[in-house]
Amino acid sequence: MNADLKNKVYIRTDGSPEIGLGHLVRSIALAQMLKNDFNIIFFCKEIPDKIKDYLTDLQFNLEQINVETNFLHRIEPQDIIVLDGYHFDLNYQKQIKAKGAKLVCIDDLHDKSFVADLIINHAPRVISKDYMAEAYTQFALGPKYALLRPVFLKQAKKNRKIEKVETVMICFGGSDYKNLTASSLKIVAGFSKFKRIIVVTGSSYNYIDSLNLLMNMDKRIAYYSSVDENQLLYIMLESDLAIVPASGILLEVIAVGCIVISGMYAKNQKYVYSNYKNSGSFIDAINFNEVNLTNAIENSLKLNVGNLKIIDGNSGKRLLKLFLQLNLHQKVKLRKATYHDEIITYQWAINPVVRAFSFTDHTISKEEHTVWFHNKLLDSKTLYLIAELDNCIVGSIRFELKGKEALINYLIDPKYHGKGLGQIILIHGLEYIMDLKKNTYNVKKVVGYVMKTNIPSIKVFERLGFTKFEEADRFNYEISIS
């Protein structure tokens, strides 16, 4: 597809020795997942020359900005905006939403409010309730949405079994301002069981002299600096054990199938560290001091230690589907139902695919439907909306208002099943009633009933962060709206 004809995804992120390159690396991974279907443009204030060249090689556009208004003025309603950085606060997000664009936030701290349409966090054991977000916000949470570059996703699909631990890799990436590379190497070198020790540093590493002293004394040590992802993958595949921090590289070594020792040394690593540790993904070195790292290495050398497979390599397909849904979302419109919709709504009411997930199973006559439909249109406590895509009717969504609660019911025309429209229509409905709430209704909670066999609807409600309550024959889903 011609790039000029693709919808645009703007990625606003930064990277420097002070900030670190973690945001840039995972944003580039996301861009590689989307590049065949979207025109990707990076907007950065700070970016190393090496990354500029890398983006050029990948054929991504880069615009370096001086002030945020340079970026905000470029946004149009049909765009999808990705924010990856801890400094993009609620006010900044609202400025983007005011443009009418769709907003995606990559966030692993959940320490502020969000008005994003989609939040991505690839750490395990994270739930939507950890976030202060809107009712319409979708969530892509956990390792099945891992933001990894293609070579690591491809490797994650392969099985790897490590029989014994003989080669170890040490990589703290970036600038490693605490020089944990050297202190860890000194500890690792004290273990004679390692036949080979591979050290990898980033382009901003400034302590090479401390490594040279150790390397001159130990022929087992091999040193690499500023490697690309293909070289890094090769090194990881050579390594049985990887010693890395709780940052982006942690996901990479897990995907490759190394036995992993990890820990944290920066505040922004705390949730990645705790969530992966609690999922049993690595051997804990806590803060990488001598005692903790020594204990972790001793544990790694025990034969009963294995590598845990929690990344399946399919996150690119899942995230692309969500972005395509965001793109489609902008083409779907809701309008109030009219008497002209009586025929198509009756066709839905008697359709066997629709009836399969209905709580009533009797045959509905045309006369019965007419009475029911007219009553709904006249009922001031019913908000009945029809969904259209490119001027074609594709489904409906209905809210039954009872005090401060709205009971939701939606359906998709069977001709349009499989396109993700259920989630899109539900989000549109939530946005619609939230807008009306400001002027007309005092709805505080939206409730939906779903049969236990209705797997597509269950997935829709859960991806939107609804709370689930189980009854004998159904699930009840609830969400508060602000």
Structure confidence by residue, pLDDT tens digits, 391-444: 999 999 999 999 889 999 999 999 999 888 999 999 999 988 888 755 577 788
Structure confidence by residue, pLDDT tens digits, 261-287: 999 998 889 999 999 999 999 999 999
In 3D space, the residue among 364, 367, 366, 340 whose CA is nearest the CA of residue 354 turns out to be: 364
The pLDDT of residue 403: 87
The pLDDT of residue 309: 80
Structure confidence by residue, pLDDT tens digits, 330-339: 899 999 999 9
Mean per-residue pLDDT of the chain:
92
Please say if the pLDDT value at position 172 is more than 60. yes
Which residues fall within 8 angstroms of residue 63, CB to CB, at 6 or more apart? 41, 42, 43, 44, 70, 71
Read out DSSP for 20-77? BSHHHHHHHHHHHHHTTTEEEEEEESS--HHHHHHHHHTT-EEEE-SSHHHHHTT--T
Q: Which residue has the higher pLDDT, 172 or 303?
A: 172
The pLDDT of residue 204: 83
**What mean pLDDT do residues 89-111 have?**
96
pTM for the structure as a whole: 0.89
Provide φ and ψ at 76, rounded to 5°.
-125, 160
Q: Give the ranges where 192-314 is alpha helix by DSSP (H).
A: 208-215, 229-238, 248-256, 270-278, 290-300
As a whole-number percent, the residues of the chain with pLDDT over 70 amount to 96
Mind listing the domains of the chain with CATH numbers?
3-147 (3.40.50.11190), 151-300 (3.40.50.2000), 332-480 (3.40.630.30)
Structure confidence by residue, pLDDT tens digits, 337-352: 999 999 999 999 999 9
Q: Which of 162-171, 231-240, 289-298, 361-370 has the lowest mean pLDDT?
A: 361-370
The pLDDT of residue 469: 95
Provide the terminal-to-terminal Cα distance of the chain, rounded to the nearest Å.
41
Structure-token pair, residue 348 = 């839905």
The pLDDT of residue 215: 94
- B/e letters for 28-67, b = 16+ CB within 10 Å, e = fewer, are bbbbbbbbeebbbbbbbbebbeebeebbeeeebebeeeee
Please say if the pLDDT value at position 43 is more than 70. yes
The band of 137, judged by pLDDT with boundaries at 50, 70 and 90, is very high
Distance CA 395, CA 411 (A): 6
